[in-house]
Amino acid sequence: MRGRSFNIISIIFSRAIYAINWYNISPLFLMISATLGIQLSVLGLVPAFFLLGAGIFQIPAGIISASIGPKRTAMAGMYLLSISTILSGLSWNLYSLLLFRFMVGAGAAFYFSPAIGILKNLFSERNRGLSMGLYNAAFNLGAGLSVATFGIFAGMVGWRESLIISGIIGIIITIENHLTLPDARGGERSDLLKILLNRNIIFLGLSLAGFWGTYFATAQLLDPYLIKEKGIPQVFAGYISSMILFTGVIGGPLGGHFLDRFGRGRLLLSIMAISSSIIISTIPFQNAYLIMFSTIFLGIFAVGIFSILYAIPSLYKEIPENMIPLSIGLINSIQISVGSVAPFAFTFISEKFSYTLGWFFLGIFVLAFLPLIFLVRER
């Protein structure tokens, strides 16, 4: 029991560091823009290239995990993510920055679903929702700390140095994981095509693809919007933006618990997605205090959604244990492929027309594929 608890803490802490190296770039956009002479609107390509790398390698990561085991795959991904974060700090122009963030995304893909494969073996089947809740809560804790503090930290040491230090911390925690986490062998891949063509998995991924992209765009781009358009000081803007992530620490375990306790995953997902759409589309009409209040609920709903979303595949009896990372990777690949247009579309619409239309687009994008949720079997 003691070893199991330590392993849970170890993988949860790793997930938090993973999130820091995912989100640490967005608070630096204004500094990067000034240093490298890149327009702020063009920097909307940076999260898009991250998503491209993450999306392309989700399915390969699941396939490799099924063959060599989730631990080896996840650790390779975390090493790549951390090294690429260091290289991001050494970027000399837009193209080098886009390349290195693409590599960060690839590393994130190889870590994400295999790490779930590690964590699920540390929980009983009746607590799968809770395990996903804790996993996603750790992500939001790390991401929230990154958004809230990285701009301040970079102001003290420089944006390049802040990324390099963050990458080094990622390498250190990965070495610890490599030495302490239990290994698991891969299994047969005979069910590979069955997983990739599973209609429940495909529709589950598509139904929340709009939400995934909108949430990612909001978490990445709310901070510069508040500073530039609302005239909010950087420290306060970072605090407000981080609430969308910090409150997910509550939403993750809560959403997972509701799934374990009551089921009704489709209903829970629908209610939280619709509520999030309303919150996001009305951001331009809110003052700073209302936005902070809205981000609290958005964070709770968002991580509740992800916890339920990633727990559902483990409830399908036709999916073998070693294929769960692949099924989750397929969900994430679909969502990233569709959702990756959100940050670029938001920056384009906001630049060419207005931020009001940009936020309205994101709110509608949440709902675009949501009706497909009713084609999904819950168990």
pLDDT digits (tens, 9 = 90+) for 41-60: 788 788 878 888 888 898 89
Window from 22-26, 116-120, 178-182, 335-339 with minimum mean pLDDT: 116-120
Q: Which has more confidence, 258 or 325?
A: 325
Q: What would the two tokens of residue 94 be? A: 């837009």
Burial of 142-151, coded b for 16+ CB within 10 Å and e otherwise, reads bbbbbbbbbb
Give pLDDT, residue 125: 63
Closest to 52 in 3D by CA, of 273, 259, 284, 333: 333
Q: Which residues, at least 6 apart from 183, have a Cβ–Cβ distance to it below 8 Å?
A: 69, 71, 72
Is 68 a residue whose pLDDT tops 80? Answer: yes
Is 280 a residue whose pLDDT tops 90? Answer: yes
Which range of 172-176, 194-198, 344-348 scores highest in mean pLDDT? It is 172-176
Separation of alpha carbons 104 and 118, rounded Å: 21
Give pLDDT, residue 328: 85
Is 190 a residue whose pLDDT tops 60? Answer: no
The dihedral through the CA atoms of 145, 298, 15, 224 has a sign that is: negative
Q: Which has more confidence, 238 or 262?
A: 238
Give pLDDT, residue 169: 95
Closest to 326 in 3D by CA, of 67, 37, 29: 67
Q: Which residues, at least 6 apart from 378, have a Cβ–Cβ distance to it below 8 Å?
A: 263, 264, 265, 266, 312, 315
Burial of 23-35, coded b for 16+ CB within 10 Å and e otherwise, reads bbbbbbbbbbbee
Is 131 a residue whose pLDDT tops 80? Answer: no
CB 294 within 8 A of CB 222: no
Question: What percent of the chain is predicted at pLDDT more than 70?
Answer: 92
- pLDDT-derived band at 80 (thresholds 50, 70, 90) equals very high
Is 89 a residue whose pLDDT tops 90? Answer: yes
Is 378 a residue whose pLDDT tops 70? Answer: no
Mean pLDDT of the chain: 85
Give pLDDT, residue 109: 92
Window from 169-183, 314-328, 340-354 with minimum mean pLDDT: 314-328
Total-model pTM: 0.80
Domain ranges within the chain, ordered by starting residue: 2-375
Which range of 84-93, 249-258, 323-332 scores highest in mean pLDDT? It is 84-93
**Topology of domain 2-375, CATH:** Growth Hormone; Chain: A; (1.20.1250)
Closest to 206 in 3D by CA, of 273, 277, 139, 275: 273
N- to C-terminal Cα separation, the chain: 29
